[in-house]
Homo-oligomer: A and B are copies of this chain.
């Protein structure tokens, strides 16, 4: 089974955006055991797009498209695939209702061009768009499979996961032994550190296969195996997972693809624990990542962004002498991180209080270097731990790593408490 990914959009050819869709879909297809032989990017141009479709149909069995499903005259993907297949387009009733409802709900007039977002290729399966307007399409023709997805990742990913992937598994992958995978997620360790500890497993892999990859401040390993039944596959995967877990007990936080904040919210919900936060240089990033998890309201009660020194004093009772003066430790210090964590825990009245204060850059602050960050974790009826971080990278990276490091230490503490009970 050979696949080709075709991303459609002049903005890609102008370099205005990076083709993250091709990476996402390549990884997903690899997980299904489907080989991607080519990725192609083509602009919003009928001739060149048609050329690319014909070529891909010669060299691949499964063609995945992203982009070009929108309302404008530049959005040509459905027109082009229909033309190459010698089919027509029709308005999909459900998709049209979805578009109509969207505009009615807003009391906004629907402009004519939005009808294009409800078009479907004759004989195709429409793929509903949960997070946007343009309907996707999946169609089998002449022994080849065509799957049309929208361009914005926020629409493409849910449509792939919930609509296209099941369609591919049912229509494309019927003959093959299915592939089963598990995602193992790690925190507090880099990709090369992880690889070093698992080198023999990675190098001698055959079945299950072991594929590590890194995102910003996260490392993931996907272990995969083909098997006739799910239970046969899971036996093999569970055994390997146990081996990996025994080597990295302080870093493996989940065996599914979730961020560490999800694991934390689940653990705290189960134990009836609550948390609050005081953020300086991260400006709300830590709290926004915790509250991005559905159900976090039971765990995260509130917090304070104290960007200025005045706010650290006023809202979080940090003593003035700690912040300012000849020999004061300053806002970026272990002392301030400790007070922030303890105060926010008491003010919001939670079991844990988290704090972050540091220099995110680009400019120095308090004559301290960019990347110097202090984080605190205060425990009701317990101690307050403070960590000094020396982070590399730009402003965004430093902020993200600061938040992720607090979450890592909070997870470690929750785990230690759990096993201590």
The residues of A with any CB-CB pair to B shorter than 8 Å are: 9-20, 22-30, 35-43, 45, 48, 51-52, 55, 59, 70-74, 102, 105-106, 111, 113-114, 130-132, 152, 154, 158, 191-193, 195-196, 202-203, 211-216, 220, 222, 277, 279, 281-288, 290-292, 294-297, 300-308, 310-311, 314-315, 347-348, 361-363, 390, 392-397, 399
Contact between B302 and A315, CB atoms less than 8 A apart: yes
Find A13's partner among B39, B311, B314 (CB 8 Å cutoff).
Answer: B39
Contact between B395 and A292, CB atoms less than 8 A apart: yes
Using A191-B70, A195-B72 as known contacts, say yes or no to A211 and B305 having CB atoms under 8 A apart.
Answer: no
9 closest cross-chain pairs (CB), A and B: A283-B291, A15-B27, A284-B284, A15-B26, A284-B287, A302-B311, A39-B41, A284-B288, A285-B288
Give Cα A55 to B13, complex, Å. Answer: 18
Q: Is the interface of A mostly helix, strand, loop or mixed?
A: mixed
Find A216's partner among B24, B154, B211 (CB 8 Å cutoff).
Answer: B154
Closest to A361 in B: B294
Contact between B307 and A302, CB atoms less than 8 A apart: yes
Give Cα A399 to B154, complex, Å. Answer: 13
Contact between B25 and A15, CB atoms less than 8 A apart: yes
**Which residues of chain B are within 8 angstroms of A45 by Cβ–Cβ distance?**
37
Contact between B285 and A363, CB atoms less than 8 A apart: no
Contact between A394 and B16, CB atoms less than 8 A apart: no
Contact between A18 and B19, CB atoms less than 8 A apart: yes
**Which residues of chain B are within 8 angstroms of A220 by Cβ–Cβ distance?**
16
Using A23-B17, A307-B301 as known contacts, say yes or no to A11 and B213 having CB atoms under 8 A apart.
Answer: yes
A184: shortest Cβ distance to chain B, in Å? 13
Closest to A181 in B: B14
**Which residues of chain B are within 8 angstroms of A30 by Cβ–Cβ distance?**
14-15
Closest to A117 in B: B192
**Which residues of chain B are within 8 angstroms of A16 by Cβ–Cβ distance?**
27, 211, 213, 220, 222
Using A9-B213, A18-B19 as known contacts, say yes or no to A113 and B196 having CB atoms under 8 A apart.
Answer: yes
Q: Could you jot down 21 A-B contacts, CB within 8 Å? A: A10-B211, A12-B39, A15-B22, A17-B213, A22-B41, A37-B48, A38-B40, A38-B48, A40-B41, A102-B392, A111-B196, A113-B195, A131-B392, A154-B397, A277-B305, A279-B284, A281-B291, A288-B288, A300-B307, A301-B307, A302-B306
Closest to A11 in B: B213
Give Cα A23 to B20, complex, Å. Answer: 10
